[in-house]
Structure 1
Amino acid sequence: MIPEGGVITAQFYDIESGRMDLEIRGGGDAHEQFDIPIHRDGGIQDMLAEAQRPDRRFDYVICESIDRTARYTYYGTRIEHLLKQAGIPLLAADEPFQLTSPDGRKPKVATQLLTRRVKQSIAEFYVVDLLEKSWDGFAVHTEAGYNVGKACYGYRAKHVPHPVPAKRAKGEKKTLLEPDPAQKPAVQRIFQLRIEKRLGYEDIATRLNADLASYPPPVPVDPTRAVGCWTYSNVRDVLTNPKYTGHMVWNRRARKTGRNRLNPIQEWVWSAQPVHEPLVSLEDWIAAQNVSGHRFGSRSGNNTNINHPDTKRSYLLRTYLFCDLCGRRMNGKTRRALAYYVCAPKKAYIPEGHPTGGSFFVREDALIDKLNEFLSHHVFGHYRRALLADRMRDLDEEARHEREQRITALKREIDDIEQRRKRAIHHLELFDEPDAELIRDINERRAQLRHRQVQLKEQLAEAEEAIAQTPNPDLIDLLPVGQVDVAQLPEDTARNLFEALRLKMHYNKTANTVRCEIDLTAHSITTAQDASNAAILPFPRTSPETEAGTPNEDPSPESAPVPILVVPPAGLEPAT
C-alpha cells in the first residue's frame, strides 16, 4: 500500500539472512542468480547510505512488514533509528499509518509503536524457537547415528528406512556410515604416520601419493574439481574428523553464523556411544590432535622454507628447541656461516626473567654437543637404566599399584551390581500378582543400578587407558645400545630419530643450560627402535673391567624422573 500521492523512486532489497549483522548485509550477489522482475537500486547498506545524503531520492521508506527488515529486534529498531535520525519515517504496508493528521499536527504513533514492537518480538521468538527445535532435531539425529551430508572419506553411505512411519511410507530413508574397504587403509595409514612419526600434512600426502593404488585420493562432491592426488587439506580433513572414532559428531563448524569457522570442541554434539564401526580409536584420534601443537608453525621435513626464497639452509634442531624462560620455540639464524638459534619474543610478550632486550642467541654446535652426550649416555648408553632415579621409579611403581587396585575394585563393583540387578528380577518373579507400585519400585531400582553400572564401566575404561598410556621405563631397554653423533648423520635420519624419540630441548639463557627430554610410549616404541637402529654407532668392544670403570657412565641417583628422561643441567659455552 502506497500513500495517496506517493511515488516509488527507488527499490532496495537483499537476498540474505535477516539474522546477519547489519554491517555485512547487502554485499551479497545472490540476487543475480534469480530472475526478479523488480529493479534493484541496492541493498540495505545502500539505502542507509543514501538516506544520509542531502540529494536523496526519497522522503519515506516503506517495507512489506516490519519483521522483514531484520529477524533480530535489535537490528530492526536500529534501522528504524538510523532512518529517523535522517528525518525519514519507516512505514510498513501491513500497518495503518497517517503521514499527517487532519488538523495538520504530527500524527500520533504510540499505539502503532506498541504494535510494531510486539510484532518484532514475535518474529524474533518464532525464528529462535524454530532454530532451537531444529537444533534439538539435529542433536537427536546425531545421537541416533545418522549422518548429515556426504559420507566422509573412509566410509560409504548406508541407507536405512526412515524411523518415522509416515516418512518411511513415502520411501524416505536415513543415512548411516559403514567402512569403505578401498578407503579404510588410507585413513588408518594417515593416523599411523601422524601419531608414530608426527609428520606434517604435506609429508603425509607425499607418502600417500607414492602409492595411489593402495591409497586412492578423495573425490569431491563435484568430480570435475578432483585433482587426482592427496593434498594438504585432504590429510587435514581426515585427521581432524572425529567420526573415524565410531561416534557421530555434528556442529563442528558454524556454517550459517560463523562463515564456516570451527566451533569450540565443547560445542560439538557427539553420540553418547559409537554408532558405526570405528577406523581409529578415540585415544588415537586425541593423540593425533595433540601432534598439532608440536607441529604448529614448523615443517616436518629437512627441506628449506620454500615460502622464504632467501632461506639458504635448514636447521637441524628446528621444531625441537624451546626457550626455557618463555616456552616459545626458538628459530634458526646464520651468522658468519655458523648456525644459531634465537628467541626473540615481541615486547608485549617478554616474561619476567627473560634477558634484557628480550632476544638472545645460542650456537647450534654447543647444543649438539650436549645432545650427543644425552643420547649416548642416557638413552643408548650401557647404564641408562641406572641413570633413572630410584626414588622416582618407586613412586611410579606405587602409582601403578594404586591404579591396578582401582581397576580390581571397579570390576568387583560392576559384577556386584550385575548380580543385584538379577536379584531384583528374581524377587519380582516370586510374586504371583505384583501390583503396579511394586513393579514401578523395582524398575526404578533396576534403572538406578543400570545407570551406576554405566558410570563404573566408563571409569574402568579410563583407568585401563591410563595404564596403557603411562610411559613405562622398561621401554628404554628395547632401544639398541650405542653412540650417537647427530652432526654426522644425514639430516633426515637425525630428524627421524628426534621425532621417534619425541625429543624436546629447553635452553635456559640465564643459567646457560639445556635440558633434554624424550618420551617413549607403546605407540611409538617400534618407530623409535627403527629410527635408533638407523642412527646409532655400536659401542667399541671393550673388556667388562674397562666398561665398569668408565667415569661418564657412573650411575647417579640425581638423574631425571620417570616418565620423562632428562639430562642433568650442563653448562654451555657462551655464544659469541
Structure 2
Amino acid sequence: MGLTAALYVRVSTSKQAASDLSIPDQIKQCGAYCDRLGWTVVDIFTEPGASALDDDRPMFQDMIYKATRPERPYDYVVVHSLSRFSRDALHSELYVRQLRKAGVELVSITQDVGQDVNGEFIRKVLNIFDEHQSRENAKHVHRAMLENARQGFWNGARPPFGYDVSVKEVRGIKEKKVLVVKDEEATVVQRIFDLALGALGRPLGVKAIASHLNDRAITRRGQRFSTGSIHEILTSTTYVGRHYFNRKDSRSGRARPPSQWVEFAVPAIIEETPFNAVQGLLRSRNPKNTPPRVVNGPTLLAGVARCGYCGSALIQNTGKGGAYRYYCCSRKLKEGRHSCRGIRLPMDRLDGIVIGQVIEQVLDPDRLKKVLEQYLLAAVDRADRNRDRIDLLRQKHRDVQTSLARLLTLVEQGVMEAEDPSLRERLSGLKLQRDELAVDIADLQKRLASNEPEITPERIERFAHLLREQLLHGTPEFRQAYARLVMSEVSVTEKEIQIRGSRDILAKAVSQQPGDSPPAVLTFVREWRCCQTNANWSPFALPKPPSADKKSTPLCESGGAGGLVVIA
C-alpha cells in the first residue's frame, strides 16, 4: 500500500452545513488532489458547524488522536486551506508539531508553501492572518448582534423555556425575530412560581419543585427538571419582561459584567411582585443564611429550639438505629460534653409540651384577647391611626425608591461596580421591601374604605380555633409553619422552657385571617425573626396557668418542666 491520507473538512456553522455546498466541494477538491499524487484516502473527517478558533472540536480531536496512533494509519492530513485546520496560530502550531512527531504532515491544497524553512515561515504568517481575520469578523458580527438586541430582536439562540420565536418583520433577506409566549410552557413556568410562593400549599424549595414536576411527568422540552434548571427559571428576569443579551462570552463561557449587558423587553409571564418575593425566599434559604435542615427538615421546632445554657440550636439526634429521635444541643454534639452541659430530650415529648403550652396559654381565645387587648382597645380610633400609618408607609416607600435610584446612579457614575454581588443582593432586597410596603399600603387603604376593624373578638376566636386545629391535627408542613407563626424562639434547660413570640406578628396574622395554606410569611426570611437578641425584647409574661401550680412531669432525670410563655 502506498502513501495514505485523511481529509479534514469544516464549516463554521450548522446552518452552513445544511444549506451550503462548501463541505462537498472541499471533499471533492481534496480527493482529486490526493488522486493526482497517488495517495489513498483512508478517512474523511467532517466537522459541520465548529469555529476554527476553538480546538475542542469532536471530529478534529478524533482525527488528531487517530493520526498520532503508533500504527500510523496516515502519512498526510489534507485540508482545503490552513484556515480549515485552525484559525488560532498557537493551536495550529502545537497540533502541527504533534502530527510531525508522529510522522504525519499537514498539507493545504490551496496553499502549498512547502516543508522547508521558508515554507514554515510562510505557514506561520498565514496562520496569524487567518486568526486576525477571524477575530475581526467575529467583532463585526458581535457588534451587529448587539445592535439587533438593542432594537428588541432575538439573535437566533434557543429561546428560554416558556417562549418561542416568531418573525416580526423582514429586512431584505434577513428575518427579524422576537420572543413570544409559548402557552403550554408558560403554564409550567407559572406553576413553578406558584409552588415557590406556596400558592398551592407550603412554599417549596428548588429540589422539592423539581421532584413535584418530575413525579407528574412534566418535562422541560423532553428533559427532566433539576435543581439547576428550576433555580435558573426562578431567577431569570426574562419572565418579568426584561431579557439581557451578551451576559456571557460565547467562546469562553465566562460571565460578562452587567455594564456590557443589553436589555430589551419581552412578553412577561410572571408579574414583578411575586418574582421579587421569590428572590427574597431564595436568598433567605441560601445555606449561607439558613441551614438546609431548617428549610427542608420535618422537625417541628427546627430553627426555633435553642439550648438554654449556651444558646446553640437544638438539632435532631437519633438512637436505636433511628427508632428514637431526640433534640440535642448542637454545640455539645460537635465539641463534646465539656463545651456545654447541654440537654438531650425525646423529640415527641418536647414537641408535645411546647405545643400544649402554646395552645393553653396563647391560643385560648380569652388569653389571646388579653395578649392583643391593646389592639382591641384601639379599634375605635383605628381609622385615624391607619391614615397616619399610610402616610408613614408612603414615606418609607418613597425612601426605598430613592435608595434604589441612588444605587443605580452610583453604578452609572462608576462609584460602584455593577457586577458586585453585594450590590445585586441590596437591589433585590430593596425591590422586595418596596413591594411589601406597596402591599401594606393597599391593605390599609382597603380597610379604610370598608371601615372594617383589623382585629375583632370574633376574628381572634376564629384565628385561635384555626391554629389549635392545625397544631394538633395538621400535616407536618402545616404544623411547622403555624408553630413558627406563634413562636420565634424556644429556649430549653433541664428545669425550664421559655417560649418567645411577637405580639405584632400575632396581630398581623389575626387581621389577615390565614386560611387553608400555610402563611407565606413563614418562609425563612430572617426579618420575620427580628427578636432574637435580648436588646430587641420587651417581654410580657402571661399569667401562670392553673396547671403550672401542679407538680410538673420531669423532662429528664435531672430536671423538671417549666412552662413560661413570653410574648414580645
**Cα distance change of structure 1 residues 7 and 295 upon mapping to structure 2, 3 Å threshold:** same
- Contact 2:169-2:177 within 8 A present in 1 as well: yes
Structure 2 match to 1:198: 203
Q: 1:265 to 1:409 in 2, by over 3 A?
A: closer
1:517-560 CA deviation, whole Å, 9 max, x = no partner?
99979x999998225899xxxxxxxxxxxxxxxxxxxxxxxxxx
Give the corresponding residue for 1:43: 63
Output one character per residue of 1:438-472: Cα deviation in whole Å (capped at 9) or x when no partner: xxxxxxxxxxxxxxxxxxxxx99997863433698
1:161 is matched with which residue?
169
Whether contact under 8 Å (1:12, 1:44) holds in the other structure is no
Tell me if the contact between 1:83 and 1:89 (Cα under 8 Å) persists in the aligned partners: yes
Residue 466 (structure 1) aligns with: 433
Correspondence list, 1:282-293, <5 A: 282-289=272-279, 291-292=281-282
Q: SS of the residue aligned with 1:160?
A: strand
| Stretches of structure 2 lacking an aligned partner (at least 5 in a row) | 1-32, 375-388, 407-425, 445-453, 520-525, 535-554, 559-568
More helix by proportion, 1 or 2? 2
Matches within 5 A, 1:397-412: 403=396, 406=399
**Aligned-residue offset at 1:82:** 1.9
Q: What residue in structure 2 maps to residue 491 of structure 1?
A: 475
Q: CA RMSD in A?
A: 6.7
User: What is residue 435 of structure 1 aligned with on the other side?
Assistant: none
Which whole-Å deviations, capped at 9, do the CAs of 1:484-535 have from their partners, x for residues lacking one? Answer: 69874343453572699599989999xx9999999979x999998225899x
Taking the aligned partners of 2:349 and 2:256, their CA distance within structure 1 comes to 42
Indicate whether 1:316 and 2:338 are aligned.
no
Matches within 5 A, 1:171-570: 172-177=175-180, 180=183, 187-196=189-198, 197-200=202-205, 220=221, 239=234, 241-250=236-245, 272=263, 275-289=265-279, 291-292=281-282, 294=285, 315-317=298-300, 333=318, 335=320, 337-340=323-326, 355=335, 364-365=347-348, 368=351, 372=355, 382=368, 403=396, 406=399, 466-469=433-436, 480-481=463-464, 488-492=472-476, 494=478, 497=481, 529-530=514-515, 563-566=528-531
C-alpha distance in 1 between matches for 2:354 and 2:42: 75
Q: 2:131 aligns to what?
A: 124
Question: What SS does the aligned partner of 2:325 have?
Answer: strand
Partner of 2:91: 75
CA separation of 1:242 and 1:250: change in aligned 2, threshold 3 A: same
CA change 1:240–1:176 in 2 (3 A) is same
- Secondary structure of the 1:26 match is helix
**Cα gap change, 1:8 to 1:299, in 2 (>3 Å):** farther
Contact 1:13 1:44 in 2 (8 A): no
Q: Which moved more, 1:334-343 or 1:60-69?
A: 334-343
1:339 and 1:363 in contact (8 A); partners too: yes
Question: How far apart, CA to CA, are the structure 2 residues paired with 1:508 and 1:124?
Answer: 70
Q: Distance in 2 between matches of 1:18 and 1:499?
A: 59
Alpha-carbon spacing, 1:339–1:321, altered in 2? closer, same or farther (3 Å):
farther
Report Cα offsets for 1:231-251 as digits up to 9, x if no partner.
Answer: 999977754543220123446
Aligned mate of 1:114, from 107, 113, 121: 121
* Structure 1, gaps ≥5 residues long: 29-41, 100-106, 303-313, 345-350, 388-395, 414-458, 535-560
Q: What is the alpha-carbon distance in structure 1 between the residues aligned to residue 390 and residue 326 of structure 2?
A: 41
Quick check: which one's strand share is greater? Answer: 2
Distance 1:300 1:85 in 2: 60
Distance 1:515 1:7, change over 3 A: farther
> Is the CA contact 2:113–2:120 (under 8 Å) kept in the aligned structure 1?
no
Q: Does the CA-based 8 Å contact 1:12-1:47 persist in structure 2?
A: no
Provide the rounded CA distance (Å) in 2 between the counterparts of 1:8 and 1:492: 74
- The 8 Å contact of residues 200 and 295 in structure 1, kept in 2 or not, is answered as no
SS for the counterpart of 2:47 is coil
Give the aligned length.
423
TM-score by length of 1: 0.50
1:66 maps to 82
Which whole-Å CA distance do the structure 1 matches of 2:490 and 2:44 have between them? Answer: 62
Flag the 1:404–1:13 CA change in 2: closer, same or farther, 3 A. Answer: closer
Q: Do the aligned residues in 2 keep the contact of 1:245 with 1:280 (CA within 8 Å)?
A: yes
**CA distance, structure 2, for counterparts of residue 265 and residue 386 of structure 1:** 57
